Every structure is written in structure tokens, then in C-alpha cells.
Amino acid sequence: MKRALVAILAIGATASTLAQNYPVKLIRLISPSTPGGGTDTAARLISQKLAESLGRPVVVENRPGVSGIFGTDALAKAAPDGYTIGMAQPGPMTIARSLFPTLPYDPERDFAPIILANESASVLVIHPSIPARSVKDLVALAKVRPFNVAFPNVASVQHLITELFSQAARIKVNAIPYKGGAPATIDVIGGQVDALWSVMPLVLPFIQNGKLRALAVASGKRSAFLPSIPTMGEAGWPGVIGTSWNGVVAPAGTPKEIVVRLNAEIRRALSAADIRERYTALGMESFEENTPESFGAFMRADAVKWNGVIKTAKIKLDSF
């Protein structure tokens, strides 16, 4: 009994010393996505500011694959010492658990939430040649002939919104999966596909230059980036809501002091004027005022919501 108590105290003392001296070396920030995307961009903005405030290099390591599962698994298995942290996103953290029979990690058990960094509304866009000026127009057309809807990646928010929308509107669509948002966007612009559910940053420039027409945003309120575009609720389908988000997490067991320190440093980074301006240019909204606890609660609620959508849509994937 005494030996066990001594061991526990020794572990606590080691963790406390580690946190007090943190950081003393390079920090890895795993991005479970390809370079250039929204998650990767958010990771690089955060890493740059963290390196400045912590006085140590913070290197972004891209580990893409299977909707973010590979990179997320690598983070789960990293040492919980604060020197490997990673980006969290809906696919591998709150959606995949309901889509696949097994995962190589447990989204709740294997991670320590640090902070919710940003959120981006999903927007429904169509090729300008399609004679629809509203969601109701598009639904009316779909009742005559099913239209093609692209979505980036299986197990993405946009995948589930596509399913949710078709169910809510009682229409049939030809849902076409792509390996990323960029190729899906290109095919809609080119007229090969009729419509697309997309994160705001990818399509905002093309909406602004008229190459795509926005019909609605799947969020609780209108987007500041497209104030004239109605929400799906305003368009007549209030249940069709889904946003993409990015956060930062650490492997479970990372000392609480380090998690709190990183939360404070990232909050400071997100409140910087240049970061806010960059987020605005990308169509993202930042969330600098949140705690590890509130981010954990946010992810749990997100998981419950998507689990309900997946069960209703009867989406089943044998493996990732």
C-alpha cells in the first residue's frame, strides 16, 4: 500500500515538474488532413502563434487518410507529454464512431480536449445554369428529375447534410462522393455536377464571382459572410443544420497544467487581429473564449446529433 502511494506521488511530482518546465523542445501539431485545406490552414495559423508565444518551434505534421482517421489515431497513440498535439474535426472525432463498427481509438477516452478554434457554416451551392433561385425551387426540380449532389469525403459533415436534406425534403438525389472538397467544387463549377454542400471557405470566392449560386446555409443563423443568403430554417427546413469545426486536442493523460497552458496560449493567438482577419478571409469564425471542458461538451453533443442522423439515414460502412 505504501509503495503504491509513493508511486502515485512520484508520478504526480513528475507530471508537475514536466508542466512547470514546459516546453523545453519542439512541439508537433498533427493535422489529419492534406496541406492547403481548412483544417491544415487553421493548424498553421495556430502553430505560428504558438511558436512565438512559447519560444519553441511548433511544426505541423500532415497525416491525412480515411477522412482524418489515420492522423487522429497517430495522435491518440502519441506520448501524453504535451509535445504532440493535434487538430480535431468532426469526421474522425464525432461522426466516424457512428459510421464504422470499430475504430483504432476511442474519441472520448483517448483525447484531452484543449480548445474549439473555429467553425464554418455549410452552404448549399448550385451551378448557375440550374433554374433555381431558392431551395424550394431546387426541391421542385428534384421532384421532376433527381439531381446530382457532390459531397467531399465519406464521413464528412457535408455527407451527412446531403442525406439529411434529401430525407427532410423527401426527394431523391444522386449523392456523389469525392476525395476532397476542391475536386467536388471544380466539377460543380464545370457543370459536371448540379449541386454541392460545402464548407464556406472553399466556395465563398466562387459565390462572390458568380461561378456558383448559393441557396442556403445549414446553420442556426445567417452567415456574416453571406448575409443575404437564408438559413435552411428560413428556407423551410429548420432541421437541416450542420457546421464544420476545428479544435485542438492532446493525447489522454496529458498533464492538466499543460492542457490549461495550451488553452490560454491558443486563446491568445485566436484573439490576435491578424489571425481574426485571416479567419474572416477564409470564411471561418473563431472561438477564442472557451475552455477544455466546454470543448469536450461541444464534441459530445455533436456526436449525439450525428449519431441520430446516421441511424435515421441507415448509413452503414463496413470498414474505414
Q: Which tens digit of pLDDT belongs to each residue from 72-119?
A: 999 999 999 999 999 999 989 999 989 888 899 999 999 999 999 988
Given a contact cutoff of 8 angstroms between Cβ atoms, the answer to whether 196 and 278 are in contact is no
Q: Rounded CA gap, 198 and 275, in Å?
A: 23
pLDDT of residue 14: 56
**β 84-88/27-31 pair status:** parallel
Q: What angle do CA 82, 85, 86 make, to 5 degrees?
A: 170
**Residue predicted with more confidence, 67 or 296:** 296
Q: Rounded CA gap, 291 and 247, in Å?
A: 11
Mean pLDDT in residue range 39-45? 90
- Give the global pTM: 0.82
- Which grid cell sits at 116? 474549439
DSSP state of 127: -
pLDDT in tens, 233-263: 999 999 898 888 999 999 999 999 999 999 9
Give residues with Cβ within 8 angstroms of 15, minimum separation 6.
255, 257
Indicate if the pLDDT at residue 8 is higher than 80.
no
Strand, coil or helix: what is 55? coil
Nearest to 242 by CA among 310, 293, 182, 314: 310
Indicate if the pLDDT at residue 277 is higher than 90.
no
pLDDT of residue 320: 57
Residue owning grid cell 464534441: 299
Asked if the domains 2-119+245-313 and 121-235 are classified in one and the same CATH topology, the answer is: yes
Nearest to 320 by CA among 82, 76, 103, 151: 103
pLDDT of residue 10: 47
Indicate if the pLDDT at residue 279 is higher than 50.
yes
pLDDT band for 35, please (50, 70, 90 cuts): confident
Given a contact cutoff of 8 angstroms between Cβ atoms, the answer to whether 122 and 243 are in contact is yes
pLDDT band for 22, please (50, 70, 90 cuts): very high
pLDDT of residue 18: 60
Indicate if the pLDDT at residue 9 is higher than 60.
no
pLDDT in tens, 126-170: 999 999 999 999 999 999 988 899 987 776 888 889 988 988 999
What are the residues facing 125 on neighbouring strands? 196, 214
Given a contact cutoff of 8 angstroms between Cβ atoms, the answer to whether 158 and 152 are in contact is yes
Indicate if the pLDDT at residue 7 is higher than 60.
no
Render the burial of 37-68: b for 16+ CB within 10 Å, e for the rest: bbbbbbbbbbbebbbeeeebebebbbbbbbbb
Q: Which fold has domain 121-235?
A: D-Maltodextrin-Binding Protein; domain 2 (3.40.190)
Q: What angle do CA 201, 249, 79 make, to 5 degrees?
A: 135
| Ramachandran angles phi, psi of 24, nearest 5° | -120, 0
Given a contact cutoff of 8 angstroms between Cβ atoms, the answer to whether 147 and 139 are in contact is no
Instruction: Say which amino acid occupies 107.
Output: P
Q: Exposure of 278 by Cβ count < 10 A (0-12 exposed, 13-18 middle, 19+ buried)?
A: middle
For the chain, the domains span 2-119+245-313, 121-235
CATH number at 2-119+245-313? 3.40.190.150
pLDDT of residue 155: 67
Nearest to 45 by CA among 281, 274, 295: 274
Q: Rounded CA gap, 57 and 41, in Å?
A: 17
CA dihedral 81, 82, 83, 89 (to 10 degrees): 120
